[in-house]
């Protein structure tokens, strides 16, 4: 078990180190996400009520688009210069590779969401009142996005059309996450009692299902990639 956890940690640290070296998420995806928030603000600013009502949905749509960009980059790196073959020969358990990659994606997405939350507070004049609920929604949604994204990222890794194929495959699949996270955020922002837990439950089930699916499927996905 300790060996297995060490393998997950090895992949997690490697992926985060790759991101720190290349600065794609920080230097390109993050500015893109903030830019999208700006564009929504410009488009909807004439009617402040619409912006206020739409904030949760706009936040999660921005997160999903940004997540697709991060996923494309993450799996493009693995397809470079025979690295996928090396991973197959490495001795690492495929499920450990999957969980390590999911962990690294979760860290990157949480950083992105934290910056976007500040952006939303400043640009959309939103006050985060039900912070506990919002954090739980964000955590469960992020794990779901990362787990399902890692599966589809591996599936499309070696395809020439992966840049266009990944969003087409992934975004419809993430519709339940978008809906649940948006509803959860709406309840959290309005600080309503109850209600939010059912959305967290749904997001958690989605996340756990894709974590389990990925742990089982990553071996054949790695072989076929």
Partner 1 sequence: MHHGEIVLLRGPNGAGKTTLLKVCAGLVPVTSGTVEVLGRDLTRHRAAVRRRVGMLGHATFLYEDLTVTENLDFWSRAAGATRDDGRAALVRLGVAERLWDLPVRALSTGQRRRVSFASMVCRRPELWLLDEPHAGLDADGRDVIDELMAEAASVGATVLFASHELDRAEGIAHRTVTISGGVIG
CA distance 51 to 55: 6
**How near is the Cβ of 166 to partner 1 at its closest, in Å?**
21
The DSSP secondary-structure symbol of 192 reads -
- Residue closer to partner 1 (CB basis): 8 or 37: 8
Q: Is 22 in the site for partner 1 (CB under 8 A)?
A: yes
For residue 108, give the 3-state DSSP assignment: helix
- Residue closer to partner 1 (CB basis): 10 or 54: 10
Q: How many CA atoms lie within 13 A of 58 on its CB side?
A: 26
CA distance 6 to 26: 26
Structure tokens at 165: 């194929």
Q: Is 7 in the site for partner 1 (CB under 8 A)?
A: yes
Site for partner 1 in 44-73 (CB under 8 A): none
**How near is the Cβ of 50 to partner 1 at its closest, in Å?**
42
Q: Is 89 in the site for partner 1 (CB under 8 A)?
A: yes
Q: Is 111 in the site for partner 1 (CB under 8 A)?
A: no
How many chain residues are in contact with partner 1, going by CB under 8 A? 21
The span of 12-20, 64-72, 125-133, 209-217 binding partner 1 (CB under 8 A) equals 12-20
Given 27, 31, 47, 90, the residue binding partner 1 (CB under 8 A) = 90
Could you tell me which of 162, 147, 145, 11 has the C-alpha nearest to residue 75?
A: 162
CA distance 52 to 180: 18
Structure tokens at 67: 């997540």
The span of 85-93, 152-160, 170-178, 203-211 binding partner 1 (CB under 8 A) equals 85-93
Structure tokens at 1: 């078990």
- Residue closer to partner 1 (CB basis): 191 or 219: 219
């Amino acid at each position: 078990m300790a060996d297995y956890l060490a393998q997950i940690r090895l992949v997690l640290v490697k992926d985060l180190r790759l991101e720190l070296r290349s600065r794609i998420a920080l230097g390109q995806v993050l500015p893109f996400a903030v830019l999208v928030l700006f564009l929504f603000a410009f488009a909807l600013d004439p009617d402040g009520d619409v912006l206020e009502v739409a904030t949760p949905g706009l936040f999660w749509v921005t997160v999903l688009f940004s997540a697709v960009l991060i996923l494309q980059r993450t799996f493009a790196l693995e397809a470079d210069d025979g690295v996928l073959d090396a991973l197959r020969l490495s001795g690492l358990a495929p499920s450990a590779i999957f969980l390590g990659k999911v962990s690294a994606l979760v860290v990157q997405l949480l950083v992105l969401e934290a910056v976007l939350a500040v952006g939303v507070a400043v640009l959309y004049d939103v006050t985060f009142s039900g912070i506990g609920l919002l954090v739980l929604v964000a955590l469960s949604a992020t794990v779901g996005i990362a787990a399902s994204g890692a599966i589809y990222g591996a599936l499309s890794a070696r395809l020439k059309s992966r840049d266009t194929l990944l969003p087409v495959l992934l975004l419809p699949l993430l519709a339940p996450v978008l809906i649940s996270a948006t509803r959860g955020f709406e309840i959290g922002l309005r600080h309503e009692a109850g209600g939010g837990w059912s959305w967290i439950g749904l997001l958690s089930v989605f996340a756990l299902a894709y974590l389990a699916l990925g742990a089982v499927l990553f071996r054949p996905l790695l072989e076929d990639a």
